[in-house]
Amino acid sequence: MTDNDEGVRESGDGELAPGELERIAERLARVAGVVGVCLGGSRARGAHGPGSDYDLGLYYRPGELDTGALRETAAELCGRPVEVSEPGDWGPWVDGGAWLDIGPARVDWLYRDVRRVRHYAAEARHGRYVSGQQAGHPYGVPSYAYLGELALARVLADPDGELAALRGEVAQFPAELARTVETDAGWEVPFALANARKGAKRGDAGYVAGCLFRAVGLLAHALHARAGQWLVNEKGAIAEAGRLPCAPPEFELRAQRLFAFGGTDPESLAAVLDAADGLAAEVLADRAPAEGVPADRVPVDGVPAVRGANGGGRDGH
């Protein structure tokens, strides 16, 4: 349940009435196919501001979700018909849901396939993950983001205790996953920055910026993995990484400055990449050793043995 997964809408700038959030969650939990409901995003973390959305994760069993009942519930809550998607309508990673304006408050429903979350939890314990592209997520969505969402969320309704049990399984960042994330950053960050040098020579600032964004994102994820902390969204990722005890001095400031190009000429872009190389070297110097990493993830001359090991797209789960 990342903050405002599907974009920005203008209406709604207030709070729900006391107890209303819990009442909504209880109603949703009674819909066929719904396993439970969680509050996610900034409100679950206590980092919200006035008028922040309420992000509700609707964890459901695939093939059983009664979206007709959800539409009826949404219409009753909003006093008008509301568009409620089918599972998968919003893409393979965000899945689906609805945007509701309940009085002055914005409430987002975000579907989460509980079977898929459980599958990725098992994969993460063995140090495996996949990533995919999703609108609104320029870094992409790593499959372990689903686990972080649940670990950081607040369970509002859980009739059979299934969500609480699953949440307990993902409370800790798996050590094997941490090693994989750091190993991936260890080869891909230098690879991205080396590619950026080619663009810099041509004054291709757009390509350089793309490589930098990828590299910095990988560093942020590596630092979170090293600290055993979940990172579920690009928004605020640099600032969050900079607050971690394992981050290099002034990580946030130094990383943000990389995107404030002094110019688009080759010399200016090369200077930015020099700074990026320095920051990356500090982060990666302390990364976990690669012992025990599966053979298909061990880099050869800076490139993994199996390209696209974390490639995107639908994965069948």
118-140 per-position pLDDT tens digit: 999 999 999 999 999 998 899 99
**Contact by Cβ (8 Å): 179, 288:** yes
Any domain includes 248 = yes
Given a cut of 80, is residue 8 above it in pLDDT?
Answer: no
Same domain assignment for residues 160 and 214: no
> DSSP per residue over the chain, as a string?
--TTTT----S--S-PPTTHHHHHHHHHHTSTTEEEEEEEHHHHHT---TT--EEEEEEE-TTT--HHHHHHHHHHHHTS---BPPTTTT-TTT--EEEEEETTEEEEEEEEEHHHHHHHHHHHHTT---EEEETTEEEEEETTHHHHHHHHSEEEE-TTSHHHHHHHHTSSPPHHHHHHHHHHHHHHHHHHHHHHHHHHHTT-HHHHHHHHHHHHHHHHHHHHHHHT-----STTHHHHHHTSTTSPTTHHHHHHHTTS-S-SSHHHHHHHHHHHHHHHHHHHHTPPP-TT--GGGSEETTEESSTTTT--S----
Given a cut of 50, is residue 301 above it in pLDDT?
Answer: no
What pLDDT shows up at residue 80?
Answer: 96
Same domain assignment for residues 282 and 188: yes
Question: Taking Cα atoms as reference points, which of 307, 289, 308, 285 lies closest to residue 190?
Answer: 285
What's the mean pLDDT in 78-98?
96
What pLDDT shows up at residue 112?
Answer: 98
What pLDDT shows up at residue 14?
Answer: 85
Question: Taking Cα atoms as reference points, which of 239, 218, 220, 177 lies closest to residue 45?
Answer: 239
Structural domain count of the chain: 2
- Higher pLDDT residue, 25 or 8? 25
What percent of the chain clears pLDDT 90, i.e. is strictly above it? 79
Q: How far apart are CA 253 and CA 239, in angstroms?
A: 8
| Locus of tokens 């439970």 | 36
What pLDDT shows up at residue 41?
Answer: 86
Given a cut of 50, is residue 148 above it in pLDDT?
Answer: yes
Same domain assignment for residues 222 and 163: no
Same domain assignment for residues 25 and 92: yes
Any domain includes 264 = yes
Band (pLDDT 50/70/90 cuts) for residue 300 is very low
Tell me the average pLDDT of the chain.
Answer: 89
Same domain assignment for residues 287 and 159: no
Question: Taking Cα atoms as reference points, which of 274, 238, 268, 232 lies closest to residue 253?
Answer: 238
Same domain assignment for residues 165 and 49: yes
Same domain assignment for residues 263 and 300: yes
Given a cut of 70, is residue 314 above it in pLDDT?
Answer: no
Residue 29 is part of a domain; what is its CATH number? 3.30.460
Any domain includes 139 = no
How many Cα atoms occupy the beta-carbon half-sphere of 38 within 13 Å?
A: 31
Any domain includes 133 = no
Same domain assignment for residues 33 and 67: yes
Any domain includes 313 = no
The pTM of this model reads 0.86
Given a cut of 70, is residue 99 above it in pLDDT?
Answer: yes
Band (pLDDT 50/70/90 cuts) for residue 46 is confident
Same domain assignment for residues 200 and 92: no
Band (pLDDT 50/70/90 cuts) for residue 309 is very low
Any domain includes 105 = yes
Any domain includes 11 = no
Same domain assignment for residues 163 and 199: no
Same domain assignment for residues 65 and 158: yes
Q: Which two tokens stand for residue 84?
A: 């409620």
Domain housing 100: 20-114+153-169
Same domain assignment for residues 290 and 274: yes
Amino acid at site 41: G
What pLDDT shows up at residue 289?
Answer: 57
- For the CA atoms of 168, 26, 90, 12, the dihedral, rounded to the nearest 10 degrees, stands at -120
Which range (95-99, 120-124, 263-267, 293-297) has the least confidence? 293-297
Question: Taking Cα atoms as reference points, which of 134, 141, 131, 90 lies closest to residue 111?
Answer: 90
Q: What is the pLDDT of residues 183-218, one digit of tens each?
A: 999 999 999 999 999 999 999 999 999 999 999 999
Any domain includes 209 = yes
What pLDDT shows up at residue 292?
Answer: 42
Q: What is the pLDDT of residues 235-262, one digit of tens each?
A: 999 999 999 999 999 999 999 999 998 8
Given a cut of 90, is residue 12 above it in pLDDT?
Answer: no
